[in-house]
Structure 1
Amino acid sequence: MNHIAALAGRSPTPWPRKRSGGAAAPRSRSLLLCMASLLAVLAFFYFSYARVSTSLLRGSLEAAAPRPSRCEPRVRALGQRFLSYVPHSGFSNQLSEFKNAIVAAAVLNRTLVVPPVLDHHAVALGSCPKFRVLDGGEIRLAVWESAVELLRTGRYVSMADIIDISSLVSSSMIRTIDFRVFASIWCGVNIDLACNNGATGESPLFASLKQCGSFLSGFSGNVDECLYSVDEDCRSTVWTYQNGNDGELDSFQPDEQLKRKKKLTYVRRRRDLYKALGPGSQADSATLLAFGSLFTSAYKGSQLYFDIHEAPKDQRIQSIIEKIEFLPFVPQILSAGKEFALTTIKAPFVCAQLRLLDGQFKNHWKTTFLTLKEKVESLRQNGPLPIHIFVMTDLPEGNWSKTYLGDLAGDVDNFKLHFLQEEDELVIRTAKELANGGHGLRVGFVPNSFARMDKLKKQCAPRKLADVLLYIEEVICSCASLGFVGTAGSTIAESIESMRKHDVCSS
């Protein structure tokens, strides 16, 4: 302000004066001085108004989204410390993250916030090997908004609605809380209204949820004893536990060419999860510990982010790791898959899981079909005909012509193909049973003060049936007594192999 006042009092640089003398010159100088003074006064009021307006606007925004010094009393009163993370990409990747989150929550003695199952690739992390991923705050907010959208459109399905974790929770191996219960308490809103009214994102309810999501994503920074956001990601960190290599460089680092091309400064270190975020750390006092992605995979002899696959020095954690090696689907899905195998196929069969259209797989049709052809020819030479084949593929049937699938479908004397579709009665019936089952809201921590559970179960039951086709197909493939042919590198194939290893079909 003083700076502007000083400018107003300063004499302006005079315009060039006329060289012709006379009485007009003094009058011109006076007129110019008056005009300059008027402009200076107008400038003073303009900049003063702009500065005051900006200050008021900033103040109103801060009032709308305050940065709390601690958690709301209702949150602190729960007596729980929570851990959240963000699922992303396809279902198999989301399940892998869920398992890692269970381990992390157990190591850090926290209650795990169980998220929804997101639509396939609704949120993508990016590429860890190329050091090009979303920052923690960005991906946390993207997942939060996706979860709220699932609530708004009546398509919300919890991971615990699909994967059976009841034995883990009932045995107190882990503690969990459903995201809907967690958000209701933490954000102070009636999630059951969000599930039922179909309001737009501009409504006050959704505005409150968005504001709460922004805070929990860490955009306001960490808040002592309330929120700690874990912003270390796969570009800088590999989480370990009791490996004795805390702080050491990981074997996988960005190569020099990538560093120069992308101007990277990242150095990947192996860090002990318990030492970094457990007792005695700044993070330990926070009511909520918010991770970003917890997805990991093997790459160049290392794990991209999470490398806790055994804990021989901690029997409790070791038991949990062994328990979650295989997490089954809920009973309704298992029953549906077995029913199809027994009552529709009604014969020994081989399963072919052919991923042909997504990502890297669209470039490997020849290899994928060759593996299946070798398996089928072996069966044709040694077994009774026709050979029953259950086909699980993302290639629409209308596009099977001029492919090996088309050849199999046309040879009705030697092969009988079976497949399942979204509109089949079995799929629709199973989706309805899942909606009525509400497993996600029946397991986990619910505070005694939370009086809306019955209403939440009723209002948040999906209005649109969940897409359960993939899960039923995986169970059917686990029942294939003549063998299984999966697409190399597919996480879906890995999931089916795990189910077959644990003999799900006969259990």
Structure 2
Amino acid sequence: MNGGGRPRWKNKKASGRSIFISSLLILFLVFFIFYKEISTFILPLSTQSLSSEFSQCEVKTVEKFLWYAPHSGFSNQLSEFKTAILMAAILNRTLIVPPVLDHHAVALGSCPKFRVLEPKQLRFEVWDHAIDLLKEGRYVSMAEIIDLSSISTVVQTIDFRHFVSLWCGVSLNSLCSYDPNIQIPLLNNLRKCGSFVSGFRGNVGKCLYALDVDCRTTVWTYQENDSDGGLDSFQPNEQLKTKKKMSYVRHRRDVYKNLGPSSEAHLSTVLAFGSLFSAPYRGSQLYVDIKESPKDHQMQTLLRKIEFMPFVPDIINAGKEFAQKNIGAPFLCAQLRLLDGQFKNHWKTTFSVLKQKVEALQQKGSHPINLFVMTDLPRSNWSGCYLGDLASNVKSFKLHVLSEREEVVKRTAAKVTAAFDGIKRTHCSRQSLDVLLFVEETICSCASLGFVGTAGSTIAENIELMRKNKVCLRDDEIEV
């Protein structure tokens, strides 16, 4: 005892409790003060008030927009863009024209294996990448590459950059600033805006309807008799269900009935899809199955128009110019995809088809054979494969390639940039556009001795479509 007072150990306990409570109060105060700043970096999980944080829902416009998330390589992005045009026409919405994304900067996953990125995550990755392209001066709109004149009277469009400025209430010119006090807050605001429009906060009244369905559960149709809600012919098999522990069921849903005038989605200013990529698989389509519209003649016309959408005239003229001036003779085109994904395992088959075509031409007695090659295999690595054999046989073959250093490519990139910037707002100083692939495809469409493409390549499919539509035989004036 201590003079009849309290035991000393009790005084220590009381003191420790006081320090503990004080520490908690300080921590709570610090968290409260910095909560707003902290929430900026945890966008998908934040529960901030929409009314205080976002102005999107207050944007006054009579337009209703359609947004989606393109992905993978350019040919897949083009395929999705065509589907988006169709969806926008059916739903009478203004299509937000996306940028051309870097090759496989955003990946969907595998629909046949029922393993894909969630729509909201896919949308946010596309948004993030598009902002990076703007910031780095590498932004190229799909409308700069593809000629939209044929659909301009049917579908209204808005450039993604214009939509972002309108919807997020920001000036994208500020992205060009080197001042971190300007750029960092702007990027944070754009990320929050992207998170919102991607659907991380769910659907918001008449403001946003963000679809969370994808190819695992849905096949979109249009004007199919009594098929709305029915089961699709392609379903995950029992082995896959057991292995992946999945319970997905694929239903066929009419896009107009589910998202049109009589739906909740129709009330929203922005309707956001995830991926719109589709392809035939096991007797069905992976996501969108709209092939004909016998009851809607306008839609029938649009379906024919989007089947083939050419490059802008400057790109087509560049390909024709190279074919006429640099090759200057009948030639064979070989599109050889050898390094990307599944194609790196099929060199033997790819070269076998080319070899058969070359030997058939040799038997006709034309020497040397002019061959234009577009490939992802660097020329320094041609030795040891069939391409090396062709290149070394200069008496029998004359090989032609195109690179980004060619004057025709540089000139075309400058023309495309100038043509688009003349009618659209420009935000940051832009790097030279990469138009090499598109010019190469046009050159291949001009190959009068034939075309050999890599099986399964969407690039080869696009070239075949260009050849079918006789792009090279059109009477566009070649501008030198």
Q: Distance in 2 between matches of 1:355 and 1:34?
A: 79
Q: Distance in 2 between matches of 1:199 and 1:260?
A: 54
1:197 to 2:177 alignment = yes
**Which residue identity lines up with residue 143 of structure 1 in the other structure?**
V
Aligned counterpart in structure 2 of residue 372 of structure 1, from 350, 354, 358: 354
Distance 1:68 1:314, change over 3 A: farther
Equivalent residue for 1:496?
Answer: 463
SS at match of 1:438: helix
Q: Distance in 2 between matches of 1:75 and 1:476?
A: 49
Equivalent residue for 1:486?
Answer: 453
**Which residue identity lines up with residue 177 of structure 1 in the other structure?**
I
1:179 to 2:179 alignment = no
Aligned counterpart in structure 2 of residue 160 of structure 1, from 123, 143, 166: 143
For 1:208-287, list aligned pairs within 5 A: 208-243=189-224, 244-287=226-269
1:101 to 2:101 alignment = no
Q: Distance in 2 between matches of 1:249 and 1:199?
A: 55
Q: Distance in 2 between matches of 1:142 and 1:474?
A: 28
8 Å CA contact 2:101, 2:129 repeated in 1: yes
1:470 to 2:447 alignment = no
SS at match of 1:203: helix
Q: CA deviation at 1:167?
A: 2.7
SS at match of 1:177: strand
Q: Distance in 2 between matches of 1:350 and 1:258?
A: 44
Equivalent residue for 1:84?
Answer: 67
Equivalent residue for 1:3?
Answer: none
Q: CA deviation at 1:54?
A: 4.7
Aligned counterpart in structure 1 of residue 305 of structure 2, from 318, 323, 327: 323
Bigger Rg, structure 1 or 2: 1
Q: Distance in 1 between matches of 2:233 and 2:117?
A: 23
Give the unaligned 5+ runs of structure 1.
1-22, 443-452
For 1:336-485, list aligned pairs within 5 A: 336-438=318-420, 442=423, 456-457=425-426, 459-460=427-428, 463-485=430-452
Distance 1:49 1:258, change over 3 A: farther
8 Å CA contact 1:115, 1:159 repeated in 2: yes
8 Å CA contact 2:55, 2:169 repeated in 1: no
**Which residue identity lines up with residue 232 of structure 1 in the other structure?**
V
**Which residue identity lines up with residue 243 of structure 2 in the other structure?**
K
Q: CA deviation at 1:280?
A: 2.0
Q: CA deviation at 1:242?
A: 1.4
Q: CA deviation at 1:218?
A: 1.2
Distance 1:53 1:198, change over 3 A: closer
Equivalent residue for 1:13?
Answer: none
Deviation string for 1:397-423 (max 9, x for gaps)? 111111111111111111111110111
Q: CA deviation at 1:156?
A: 0.8
SS at match of 1:366: helix
Deviates more, 1:156-165 or 1:256-265: 256-265
Q: CA deviation at 1:393?
A: 0.6
Deviation string for 1:75-108 (max 9, x for gaps)? 6432100001111110000000000100111111
Q: Distance in 2 between matches of 1:140 and 1:111?
A: 18
8 Å CA contact 2:71, 2:101 repeated in 1: yes
SS at match of 1:324: helix
Give the unaligned 5+ runs of structure 2.
41-45, 475-480
Q: CA deviation at 1:71?
A: 8.2
TM-score scaled to structure 1, two decimals? Answer: 0.86
Aligned length: 466
8 Å CA contact 1:76, 1:287 repeated in 2: no
SS at match of 2:7: helix
Q: Distance in 2 between matches of 1:144 and 1:235?
A: 23
TM-score scaled to structure 2, two decimals? Answer: 0.91
1:140 to 2:123 alignment = yes
Q: CA deviation at 1:385?
A: 1.0
Deviates more, 1:347-356 or 1:214-223: 214-223
8 Å CA contact 2:56, 2:167 repeated in 1: no
Deviates more, 1:84-93 or 1:250-259: 250-259
Distance 1:39 1:265, change over 3 A: farther
Q: What is the RMSD computed on CA atoms of the aligned residues?
A: 2.4
Q: CA deviation at 1:236?
A: 1.3
Q: Distance in 1 between matches of 2:178 and 2:301?
A: 43
**Which residue identity lines up with residue 419 of structure 1 in the other structure?**
V
1:35 to 2:12 alignment = yes
Q: Distance in 2 between matches of 1:73 and 1:36?
A: 54
Aligned counterpart in structure 1 of residue 291 of structure 2, from 281, 292, 309: 309
Distance 1:215 1:383, change over 3 A: same
Deviates more, 1:470-479 or 1:184-193: 184-193
Q: Distance in 2 between matches of 1:44 and 1:208?
A: 36
8 Å CA contact 1:164, 1:330 repeated in 2: yes
Q: CA deviation at 1:274?
A: 1.1
Aligned counterpart in structure 2 of residue 119 of structure 1, from 102, 105, 108: 102
Equivalent residue for 1:67?
Answer: 50
Deviation string for 1:199-251 (max 9, x for gaps)? 66952222222221111111122111111111101111111111131111222
Distance 1:145 1:480, change over 3 A: same
**Which residue identity lines up with residue 85 of structure 2 in the other structure?**
I
Q: Distance in 1 between matches of 2:133 and 2:8?
A: 68
Deviates more, 1:300-309 or 1:177-186: 300-309
